[in-house]
């Protein structure tokens, strides 16, 4: 017989994609937000990014050595965590605090749970929340962006903080470009959207989670307005705070997001719903980090009830 049936174990559909290639694409997508942060907040922002990236790489290398595991520094996931953590920090944060945050992200959240693919929450967001609890004062002291008309008295005011306390809100244009107070990588909507488009074109992420997350926040913030039904400002809530960086770069994390499309829809809606609840009905001006982390913990349950049944599968008697 000339034609033989060849049998092999799964997977039968293969791709040339690898962890390092995917992480490289994410790093490229983060370049616009990183450059915008350096432009608006100066060299202090660049130093924060460098400190976080180097710390994350060093901690990953040392942790893998101490745990007697193969080295994974070359997969670039530690570098991605470092950039994302830095972009979620104030530019002028003391650099030793950035090192502590990097340690928590890499060692506590990632490596102690088994390394890449085993962590149950996003490492950068988990570290950010830890730092908000441990170093709340420094984490909420936001630098004034270059070119902004502001005084030292309002240097810590972010748009969402101003909304909570009352005051003059920044223009949509300033929020779109990034000339507002905030963490060094969350202020420029333009830079984040460019990065998101790159990831979509490269098919690193799909549209469902970012679109549904952002759309849910826009819709609910409009419906549940401060002056009654349908009096909210959806565009403000989309441009303000960490919504775009969270929806594009962290809610889409492969490890901590659902495996199915139906699960992704539920997950994204939950992220958006919780974000609006935190923003409108708690003392917190921002809710993106907490919303994503809470939904991260719900992902195993979502996967359990949305995963398709295997062909020929059924209930066990």
Inter-residue contact 36 to 178 (CB < 8 Å):
yes
**Confidence band for 153, pLDDT divided at 50, 70 and 90:** very low
User: Percentage of residues in the chain with pLDDT exceeding 70?
Assistant: 86
- pLDDT of amino acid 241: 84
- Nearest-angstrom CA–CA distance, 77 and 27: 9
Residue 72 has pLDDT above 50, yes or no: yes
Residues 6+ apart with CB under 8 A from 82: 49, 52, 53, 54, 55, 56, 57, 102
Query: What span, in angstroms and rounded, lies between the C-alpha atoms of 231 and 9?
Result: 57
Task: Tell me the pLDDT tens digit for each residue of 217-272.
Answer: 999 999 988 777 888 889 999 998 889 999 999 999 988 899 999 999 999 999 99
> Which residues are CB-contacts of 311 (< 8 A; sequence separation ≥ 6)?
none
CA angle, residues 160, 163, 169, in degrees to nearest 5: 95
Specify the DSSP element, H or E, that contains 273: helix 261-281
- The predicted structure's pLDDT at residue 181: 83
Q: In the predicted model, is pLDDT for residue 311 greater than 80?
A: no
**Tokens 């759309």, located at residue:** 215
* Statement: residue 38 has pLDDT above 90: yes
Q: Give the pLDDT confidence score for residue 147 in this predicted structure.
A: 62
Summarize pLDDT for 74-106 with one digit per residue, the tens: 899 999 999 999 999 999 899 999 999 999 999
Average pLDDT over residues 105-112: 93
H-run or E-run covering 121? none
Q: What is the pLDDT of residues 271-290, one digit of tens each?
A: 999 999 999 888 887 889 99
Report the alpha-carbon distance of residue 171 to residue 155 in Å, rounded: 17
* Model confidence, pTM: 0.88
Give pLDDT, residue 35: 95
Q: Which residue has the tokens 């060094």?
A: 184
Q: Which of 30-44, 130-144, 278-292 has the highest mean pLDDT?
A: 30-44
């Amino acid at each position: 017989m000339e034609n033989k049936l060849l049998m092999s174990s799964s997977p039968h559909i293969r791709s040339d994609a690898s962890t390092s290639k995917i992480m490289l694409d994410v790093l490229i997508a983060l370049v616009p937000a990183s450059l915008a942060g350096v432009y608006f907040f100066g060299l202090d922002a660049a130093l924060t990014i460098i400190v976080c990236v180097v710390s994350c790489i060093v901690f990953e290398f040392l942790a893998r050595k101490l745990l007697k595991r193969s080295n994974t520094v070359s997969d670039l996931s530690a570098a991605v965590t470092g950039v994302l953590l830095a972009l979620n920090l104030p530019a002028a944060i003391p650099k030793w605090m950035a090192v502590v945050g990097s340690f928590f992200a890499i060692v506590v959240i990632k490596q102690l749970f088994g390394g890449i693919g085993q962590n149950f929450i996003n490492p950068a967001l988990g570290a950010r929340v830890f730092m908000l609890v441990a170093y709340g004062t420094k984490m909420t002291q936001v630098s004034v962006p270059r070119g902004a008309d502001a005084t030292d008295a309002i240097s810590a005011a972010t748009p969402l903080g101003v909304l909570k306390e009352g005051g003059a809100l920044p223009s949509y244009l300033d929020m779109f470009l990034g000339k507002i107070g905030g963490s060094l990588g969350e202020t420029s909507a333009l830079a984040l959207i460019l990065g998101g488009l790159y990831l979509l074109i490269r098919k690193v992420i799909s549209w469902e989670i970012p679109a549904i997350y952002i759309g849910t926040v826009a819709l609910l913030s409009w419906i549940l307005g401060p002056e009654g039904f349908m009096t909210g400002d959806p565009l403000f809530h989309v441009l303000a705070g960490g919504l775009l960086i969270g929806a594009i770069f962290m809610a889409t994390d492969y490890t901590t997001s659902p495996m199915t499309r139906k699960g992704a829809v539920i997950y994204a809606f939950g992220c958006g719903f919780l974000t609006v609840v935190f923003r409108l009905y708690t003392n917190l001006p921002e809710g993106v980090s907490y919303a994503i982390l809470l939904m991260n913990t719900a992902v195993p349950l979502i996967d359990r009830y949305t995963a398709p049944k295997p062909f020929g599968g059924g209930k066990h008697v």
